[in-house]
Amino acid sequence: MARIIKFFLIILILVCSLVLGGVFYIFHNHTIDFSILEHYNPGKASILLDDEGNEWARFQLDKRESIKLDQMPAHLINAFIATEDHTFFMHAGISWRGILRSMLVNLYNGRKVQGASTITQQLVKLLFFDSKKTFERKIKEQLYAIIIERQFTKQQILETYLNHVYFGCGIYGVQAACQRFWGKSAQEISIAQAATLAGILRSPGNYCPILCPLSCEKRRNLVLSLMNKHHFISPEEFEQAQSESLEVIALDSFILAPHLRETIRLFLEDLLGKQALYYEGLIIQTTINRHMQEVAESTFKKQCAQLKKTLRPDIDGGLISMDVHTGEIKALIGGYDFVRSKFNRALQAKRQIGSILKPLIYVAALQSGISFAQTEVDEPFELAQTNGSIWRPRNYNEEFNGKITLAYGLSHSNNIAAIKTLLKVGASSVIDLAKKCHVQGPFHEYPSLALGCIDVTLKEAIGMFNIFANGGEYVEPHYIKWVKNEWGTKIFKYAPQHNRVMQSKISDQVAKVMMLSLGRIRENWKGAWLNCQAISKTGTTNDSRVCWYAGSTPTLTTAVYIGCDDNRSMGQNIYPSQTAFPIWFEINNKIGSSQAQFNFDPSLKEIFINENTGDATYAGAEGAIAIFS
């Protein structure tokens, strides 16, 4: 009895509220802006262009495309009417019969098991209200529905509704859903496909065919039975549609440069705001080259997958390839799997730079008057630390070579020669050079600086290394050139930093020595080699936690690091030659260079010295290496 009394009280309150609300509306001549029904505009996506002016990505909050009602097939419209509101063309916005029926059903079950919203009410909720379920909102929703029915035709209401409903996976509107699920226009879909769409609305998370194909098919068949019940389809059409297999086209799992795309999105959201980025049709000119990015991604993923199998740990890393002279980033990889981790290791991760720093030590030496022909003794030695401990540095191979030239020291990444040279020139001079290369630090004036005991991002590392391919000039690595609004007006232009770090005569001497290590690899290489000169430097941190490889051709500088996110060791005797170098080499071998040789300072003269003694010699003599003087 209490339930029955409560039921009639609710109906009485509902009727009174609607009457009072309507009276209030009439007497106060209150106007609600329903222009969205006549002027539907989903906004314009912002487009990212590659360095050839072609779209490679876009920013929009959802996939949405409108279509006129008269372009929709009858069975598509009927599927929604049969499922959501079979009396749509008969009521004035709300269905009193539906309200009474749902109340009785809910009263009988003691809980809400059935709703009574008409298509008009659902449209009101989509356009004007949030998802909060309050009694006040329900009353407003019903009042708005009545007003809309008085101001607009059924066809206008239905068209706007079908262009707004949500189908899961960021897809809004029947046209966008048909294109995503079946690669066709809404005009072309079958009865079974129309029923599939109508069935999704109750719970997109549970019935979207991309996510839940089995439950989607069951729901589709229920919709078909409703269409049959209300005589929208014949029994024969019902049987045929039920037997049709539920197939949707596969998701495109490949998204070009996903980590960079996310970085650009966050940057522009902060710079220009979400409204501009997602609705105002911006054109974003990036520096990315599609071909280089695709080559880099396939090469990086293939090598990482192989390392995961052979080394066992969860290998990851980052990669940047940039134009030597402009600093424009042509390819960027922020990690192995964007879906699993959106952390951009190319721009955000800070790892010890290791021996990639050593070229700067030799720059400081050259600037102080020391030459690459001068020698140091590669031998065991000890250094007392400020805490009283003794530091006994070693080479990566645990061997000592006696008397060696500084050219040999750099080209073989010898630790002892680098430490002794640092002690001569002073750590402060190397730190000053690093700061000119926009390496942020923090720095400590310890002898271990010679082994690269500072944390850097990959962007910092490649910017520093690139000076040796660019004649001593630093150019900032960057990935955006400009942004235009939808009318073609530039609203943002990126101004990358440029500064000269050292004279080209100095940088080119170091570059010449860094050609030696690749020259040794080439002597024993089987297969195709690079079509140009190249310089390179390896880097390995303690216990093989990180492996670096940075190298330049005359046109492209590429830096790669491989390691574990938790900075654990990758294993014993793991070096860049087996981890990072294969990535660097394959990319440059596939892409090639439009320029065969570096434009070295013409005042420099090539000479040959013995790599151990520094004595002058000739090409082809035992131990002979070429340096600039």
Q: Judge whether residue 554 has pLDDT over 90.
A: yes
Which residues share a beta bridge with 316? 563
What pLDDT was estimated at residue 182? 92
What pLDDT was estimated at residue 254? 65
Confidence of residue 251 (pLDDT cuts 50, 70, 90): low
Q: Judge whether residue 485 has pLDDT over 90.
A: yes
Helix (H) or strand (E) segment spanning residue 598? none
Q: How many Cα atoms sit within 13 Å of 371 on the Cβ side? A: 11
Q: Judge whether residue 627 has pLDDT over 80.
A: yes
What pLDDT was estimated at residue 28? 46
What pLDDT was estimated at residue 195? 95
What pLDDT was estimated at residue 5? 52
What pLDDT was estimated at residue 462? 98
C-alpha 96, offset from chain centre: 51
Q: Judge whether residue 605 has pLDDT over 60.
A: yes
Highest mean pLDDT among 91-100, 135-144, 247-256, 350-359: 350-359
- Looking at 44-53, 108-117, 220-229, which range is the least confident one? 108-117
What is the spatial distance between Cα 336 and Cα 321, in angstroms, rounded to a whole number?
16
pLDDT tens for each residue of 259-293:
999 999 999 999 999 889 988 899 999 999 999 99
What pLDDT was estimated at residue 24? 46
CATH of 291-628, one of 1.10.1740.10, 3.40.710.10, 3.40.1350.10, 1.20.1290.10: 3.40.710.10
CATH 1.10.10.10 corresponds to the domain 2-31+62-219: no
What pLDDT was estimated at residue 113? 40
Confidence of residue 137 (pLDDT cuts 50, 70, 90): low
Pairwise pLDDT comparison (524 vs 17), residue with the higher score: 524
What pLDDT was estimated at residue 108? 47
What pLDDT was estimated at residue 171? 84
Confidence of residue 536 (pLDDT cuts 50, 70, 90): very high
pLDDT tens for each residue of 499-528:
999 999 999 999 999 999 999 999 888 889
Annotated domain spans of the chain: 2-31+62-219, 291-628
- Give mean pLDDT, residues 352-369: 97
Helix (H) or strand (E) segment spanning residue 520? helix 504-523
Helix axes 358-367, 427-436, angle to 10 degrees: 110
What pLDDT was estimated at residue 160? 87
Pairwise pLDDT comparison (358 vs 4), residue with the higher score: 358
CB atoms within 10 A of CB 442: 7
Give 622's contacts (C-beta < 8 A, 6+ positions apart): none
Residue 76 and residue 173 in contact, taking contact as beta carbons nearer than 8 Å: no
Q: How many Cα atoms sit within 13 Å of 188 on the Cβ side? A: 10
Confidence of residue 112 (pLDDT cuts 50, 70, 90): very low
pLDDT tens for each residue of 407-423:
999 999 999 999 999 99
- Listed residue (87, 120, 83, 116) closest to 11, CA to CA: 116
pLDDT tens for each residue of 308-322:
999 989 999 999 999
| DSSP letters for 47-60 | EEE-TTS-EEEEE-
Confidence of residue 49 (pLDDT cuts 50, 70, 90): very high
- Strands 63-64 and 171-172 turn out to be parallel
What pLDDT was estimated at residue 38? 60
pLDDT tens for each residue of 208-244:
998 889 999 999 999 999 999 999 999 999 999 999 9
- Listed residue (356, 351, 581) closest to 467, CA to CA: 356
Cis peptide before 576 (omega within 30 of 0): no
Mean pLDDT for the chain overall: 88
User: How much of the chain, in percent, has pLDDT values that exceed 90?
Assistant: 67
What pLDDT was estimated at residue 384? 86
Give 294's contacts (C-beta < 8 A, 6+ positions apart): 256
Confidence of residue 331 (pLDDT cuts 50, 70, 90): very high
- Give mean pLDDT, residues 164-184: 87
- Give mean pLDDT, residues 577-601: 96
pLDDT tens for each residue of 442-467:
999 999 999 999 999 999 999 999 99
pLDDT tens for each residue of 380-408:
989 888 888 899 999 988 899 999 999 99
Residue 30 and residue 41 in contact, taking contact as beta carbons nearer than 8 Å: no
